[in-house]
Structure 1
């Protein structure tokens, strides 16, 4: 009976050690990530517009 109890205690301890906790992001980190994503989207849009303008200039030549 003692061996079974020790086995359950060992398995429980092992499960506690191997279970990882998710890292929670703070509100500040979420806002910073959103700002970075928005900045990247704006840069992509600017690149697309500049490519279209260059194509339009090339087509008129």
Structure 2
């Protein structure tokens, strides 16, 4: 019971963080990067999205 409550709480915190993010408009450079070197799978696509959302370079 405690484990399921902890999982639900953790998922709700992560979900609220994802909902709070505003959509990111891709710049010209990001569009070129995605065209010349497209993400190779879901993990890389998610990584790029996180980097762009947090301005990580």
Higher relative contact order (CA 8 A, sep 6+): 2
Tell me if TM exceeds 0.5.
Answer: no
Instruction: Name the TM-score class by shorter chain.
Output: 0.3 to 0.5
TM-score between both structures, scaled by the size of structure 1: 0.36
Q: Which structure shows the higher helix fraction?
A: 1
